[in-house]
Amino acid sequence: MLDTAAAGRAAAMLNDVRTSGALIEALPADLRPADADDAYRIQEAGVAGVLDVAGGGAVVGRKIGATNPAAQEMLGLPEPFQARLLSPFVLDSPAEIAADDMFMRVMEVEFAFRLGADTTTGGAAYDADSVRPLIAAVVPAIEVVDSRFTDWTRVGGLSVIADQGGGGRWIRGAEVTDFAGLDFAGYPVGIGIDGAPRESGTGAAVLGSPLNALAWLANHLAARGQTLKAGEYVTTGSCTKPFPAAKGEAAVADFGALGQVKVSFV
């Protein structure tokens, strides 16, 4: 287990990469997370430094990753993971991002939620039915994954968790508050690049439903004595196959009646 000092050194190394732009292959062996507790300890130790590098800001919610078996297998994880959403990296659609400000630009089309009530640490475990009343709004979104490692697919899921869950940018569309009866599992979404269709999927790609992902997060945090708060956002994982966007490209995620989300890399 990494102690507080070691977790802080690992977090500082990852934050140095954000400043210098010099990617690393991996954390040194003595600072590498051995289990999920280590990984989250590094992640938590790094939040203040990430915000400092960004010039300030705050935690505005959580992101969930590895919400399908293929992603978990690739990263060597037994379950999804979570990380903070940080305000300096939250953008409203349509968004422009300087391509050179990111080490990579992996696109993910995601259902997100703005909560209207807090979760709790006691009582029965959450499920899709019990988290749905906590949602104030559905938010169509694109997550743009980034990494401080030369190859995030090979470094292992624990290091990805430590690296703020691969957080890059999160682009949110217009909130939808009238979603009664919406079938999140069967809802189709797609994304195109420069006007050409690229990937498509449904909410079922996310643990069977984005509501299941939200329930997983509420339970995961409850087990650690933490909660989600009213007003926070939760983005639930990619409904489509992730892919990298190139410099100069523009992406449009289409959520049908829920709207579109647009981002361009300039």
- Residue 123's domain is classified under what CATH number? 3.90.850.10
29 within a domain of the structure (yes/no): no
Span 85-105, pLDDT tens digits: 999 999 999 999 999 999 999
149 within a domain of the structure (yes/no): yes
* Percent of the chain whose pLDDT exceeds 70: 100
pLDDT band at 70 (very low <50, low <70, confident <90, very high): confident
230 within a domain of the structure (yes/no): yes
226 within a domain of the structure (yes/no): yes
Range of the domain at 211: 57-265
Span 186-215, pLDDT tens digits: 999 999 999 999 999 999 999 999 999 999
Instruction: Compute the average pLDDT of residues 120-149.
Output: 96
Q: Which pair of tokens denotes residue 37? A: 């507790």
Place of tokens 């968790």: 161
Query: In terms of Cα–Cα distance, which of 190, 192, 213 is closest to 68?
Result: 213
- CA distance linking residue 251 with residue 106, whole number of Å: 11
- CA of 219: how far to CAs of 110, 124, 138, 200, 257, in Å? 20, 9, 20, 29, 30
Number of domains in the chain: 1
Helical (H) or strand (E) element with 167: none
122 within a domain of the structure (yes/no): yes
Query: In terms of Cα–Cα distance, which of 33, 35, 2, 28 is closest to 13?
Result: 28
47 within a domain of the structure (yes/no): no
Phi, psi (5° rounding) for residue 63? -115, 150
3 within a domain of the structure (yes/no): no
Q: Record the pTM.
A: 0.96
12 within a domain of the structure (yes/no): no
Contacts of 246 (CB under 8 A, 6+ apart): 99, 105, 265
